[in-house]
Each structure stands twice: as C-alpha cells, then as structure tokens.
Amino acid sequence: MTNESNTSDEALREEVTAWLTENWTKDISEELLNENIYWEVSAARKSWLKKVVEAHWAVPRWPEEWHGRALANDQAKIIERAFAKVRAPGAGQDRNNLWANTLLAQGQQGLKEKLIGPLLRSEVNMCLLYSEPGAGSDLAGIRTRADKQGDHYLVNGQKVWTSGAATADYGMLIARTNWDVPKHQGISFFFCPMKQPGIEVRPLRQITNESHFNEVFITDAVVPAENILGAPGMGWQVLNTALAYERSSMGEGARGPRSGAKQATQEEPLIAVAREAGKLDEPHLRQQIAQAIAYKRLNALNTARAKADLSQGTSSSIMSLGKLAMSRILHEEGRIRTEILGAESLLEGENHPRAEDANFLSLNAYFTSIGGGTDQVQRNIIGERVLGLPKEPEVDKTIAFRDVRTS
C-alpha cells in the first residue's frame, strides 16, 4: 500500500479502483452477492474480508498499526464510494463495525491485538448482553453482577433480547461491579466469552411466532480481567460510545410483509391490497390509506431534509424523529390492512397470505415501537434533548444501587 497521508484524492481513487479491478473478480463478486447472509459468515466472505483488511481498505480512518491509513473523513469516503460502486463489502468498518470500533476506542492492548483483526475479518461472532428482564427502558438498572476474583471476573445474572447468542464467540456485556454507588457509576463493560459452561442460551418465541432473540442465563461465567473495556465502574460511558456506534450504523428501513411477495408494480402496497380486496372505493378507507401513505412520505421528506441540512454543515434534530414516526407508520399500516381485510384477518397460514401480511405487520410493528427504546422513551429523548424540556426527577439517581427499589 502507499500510505502518504497527503495522497491526493485522485491518486487514492485510482489506487482503490485499480485494487478492486484486480481483486473484486467476477467469480468472487458473483459468489458473495448471491449468498444469503444471516448469522453464519461464509468462508468466501471471510477470505475476501481478509484481503480488504490486509490492503488497509477496511478502516482507513484508523491508525496504520490497526489496519488503517489515518485518513480524514473525505478521503475515507472516496474508498467507501469505490467499494459501493462495485457493491464490494468490507469497507467503511471504521464507521459501521460496532464491535471493532468499541474495542479500539476502549479496549486494553492485549485484547485489541487478539480481536481487532478477527472482528474486521468477521472471523468471530458477537452479540449484545445489555437488556435484562428487570432493566428495559431503565437500562442502568441492570442487576447482572461481575465480581473480581484474582485475574478474572465471575459473572451471574440474566440477559434478554440477545440476537445471535447461540453462535456468538463473545458478547458485549454490561454488569454491575459496585453496588455501593449510584446506578450509573457501578457498571462495567466486558467482552464476555460465550462458549463456556456458565452461559446458557434459550431462544425467545416472539408474538409473531418467530425467534430472532434469546434469553441468556449466566451462572458463574468467567471473564478474564483483561476483557474489561474502560475502567471498572466506567461501563455506562463505554456503553454510550457503543450505542452511538450502533445508532450511526443503523438506519435500515423497517421490514416488509412476511410473505415477501414482490409487488408487480411500484404501486403503494396499501392501495394494491385495497384494490385486490375490492375495497378501494370505500371513502373511509381511502382517507385512511391516503393518510398512512402520507405519514410514510412525510418521514422520507424529513429524512431527506435532515440529510440536506447535514451536508450544509448544520446539524439537524429531525433525524431523531424518524424512529417515532416509523412506529406510527407501521402500526397504521398494520391496522388499515386489517380493516381492509375484515374477517379474513382472522385466518393464517400459507393459503391466506393477505391475512398473514396484515397480521404480521400489525404484530411486528411493536418491534419498532418497543425495540431500541420504546416510543415513550423516544418522546422523552426528543422532549429533553431536542426541545430542551427539563427531565423528570429521578429518585434513584444519587442513592447507592443496593438501596434502589425494584419490582
């Protein structure tokens, strides 16, 4: 690699394009673009990522010693755009690889040397051990404990809403290490090895009859002391940097109907469903359909305006509204589809795909209105951080956690 930080934009563009032309061959691209990725990463993908990391394209904003190029954002984007143009994966991980970014920012040297490379190459699988049955909206109220025993921590407790726990090698874990200080101050952040006897993973069955998440029961699990990120008791701060990475890498849209039936036309799904059901002429449905489509369109316009504001250098508060807006869009779409179908929505199964879609959308809408912060928490955040309204008094903010009331 050529690595002068003063490489011109044009030279960089040529270099990355040439590298892609040579390495992103027809065979590799066809194989990777056609594979179905879920939790397992294929050998072909790992081998491609290895090449990308070795050529220092994966994390160009990072320092050279960690596979980077120490480039500024503008130049890093040149690389991302070149990869995106040919649909090659693996670039931009200094923005969207939650695990590697968190580890690089907060981890100890030994753990970084051990895991940064494998994380960038997707050779290790990860999961999140944050939420607990007793700590949902109030995440700082976690009761999973980590007790220091010589060169390691012993962890006990229960986590929930963990995707990929069964295949994970490590989980990013928050656990309480000090019960004598207020709740935010006694938390520590760990890379917890998952493949050990003290970890039991049980799938959770959702109201949609799917299982995308697990419960994780932790009994005397061992975490080496070097796997702590940040200082003991500083876990809440580490968590917030991790959450910031997570948010910046999110932003994918909501999921569509389960049947996955492709719309033959570009027509709005609600219009198509009403037409098919012979209900498109009903004035009260027409009003509701128009309004539901409008909610979706207005959210898209807000997002576009926020992006335009950002590109002009002014930060936009509109972005924070998207999740709340999306909740309403999805609940309304589910509700109106149900209303269009009437009694047909009682049915399920593959012979009733319209009912399946309506019911799935209605139920899965809660994924957005509860998951990742409920609408109610989201309204608090908008009220406080965007509109500057004062916080509710917090009765447990300053007392030792062991004295905090629980349900």
Partner 1 sequence: MLNTLSTEEREALRDSVSKLMSDASTETAVRTVMETDQGFDPDLWRSLSEMGVIGLITDEKYGGSGVGPMELEAVMEEAGAALLCSPLLASGVIAAELLQALGDEALNATRLPGIATGETIASAVLTGDTGCWTESGINVSASEIAGTWQLEGRGSFVLHAQNADVLIVIANSEGGLKAFEVDPSEDSVQVEALPTLDRTLRIASVSFNKTAAKQINATQPVWEAVNQALNMALVALAGEQAGGAKKVLDFTVEYAKTRIQFGRQIGSFQAIKHMAADLLVETESAISAARHAAACLADQSSRTEEAISLAAFACADAFVKTAADGVQMHGGIAFTWEHPAHLYLKRARADAQLFGSSDFHRENYLKALGG
Footprint of partner 1 (CB under 8 A): 267-268, 271, 274-275, 280, 283, 286-287, 289-291, 293-294, 297-299, 301-302, 304-305, 312, 318, 321, 324-325, 376, 378-380, 382-384, 386-393
CA distance 200 to 58: 34
Nearer to partner 1, 43 or 264 (CB): 264
What are the CB-based long-range contacts (under 8 Å, 24+) for 370-378?
371/161, 372/250, 372/323, 373/137, 373/323, 374/136, 374/137, 375/324, 375/327, 376/137, 377/137, 378/320, 378/323, 378/324, 378/327
Nearer to partner 1, 85 or 297 (CB): 297
Q: How far apart are CB 264 and partner 1 at their closest, in Å?
A: 13
Q: Say if residue 22 is exposed, middle or buried (CB neighbours under 10 Å; 0-12, 13-18, 19+).
A: exposed
> Which CB sits closer to partner 1, 197 or 278?
278
Closest approach of partner 1 to the CB of residue 310, in Å: 14
Q: What is the smallest separation between the CB atom of 290 and partner 1, expressed in angstroms? A: 4
Q: Between 305 and 402, name the residue whose CB sits nearer to partner 1.
A: 305
Q: Shortest Cβ distance from residue 401 to partner 1 (Å)?
A: 24
Smallest Cα–Cα separation from 175: which of 108, 110, 118, 236? 236
**Least separation in angstroms between CB 388 and partner 1:** 7
State which residue, 208 or 316, has the beta carbon closest to partner 1.
316
Closer Cβ to partner 1, 82 or 274, answer by number: 274
CB of 298 to partner 1, least distance (A): 4
> In the bound complex, what is the minimum distance in angstroms from residue 358's beta carbon to partner 1?
18
Give the alpha-carbon dihedral of 168, 40, 49, 79, to 10 degrees.
Answer: -90
Q: Pairing relation of β-strands 126-129 and 170-176?
A: parallel
- Tokens found for residue 261: 């039936």
Identify each DSSP E strand in 83-185 by its residue range. 126-129, 145-149, 152-162, 170-176
Whether the CB-CB separation of 120 and 49 falls below 8 Å is answered with yes
The secondary structure of 226-287 as a DSSP string is GGEESSTTBHHHHHHHHHHHHHHH--------TT-PPPSSS--HHHHHHHHTT-TT-HHHHH
Q: And the tokens for 142?
A: 């976690």
Judged by beta carbon, residue 46 or residue 379, the one nearer partner 1 is: 379
Token digits of residue 141: 């109220």
Nearer to partner 1 (CB atom), residue 199 or residue 336: 336
Nearest partner of 407 among 132, 188, 160, judged by Cα: 132
Residue 154 or 280: the one with the smaller Cβ distance to partner 1 is 280
Structure tokens at 134: 């007793």
- Least Å distance, CB 136 to partner 1, is 16
Give the Cα separation of 275 and 273 in Å (integer): 5
Question: Minimum Å distance from CB 319 to partner 1?
Answer: 10
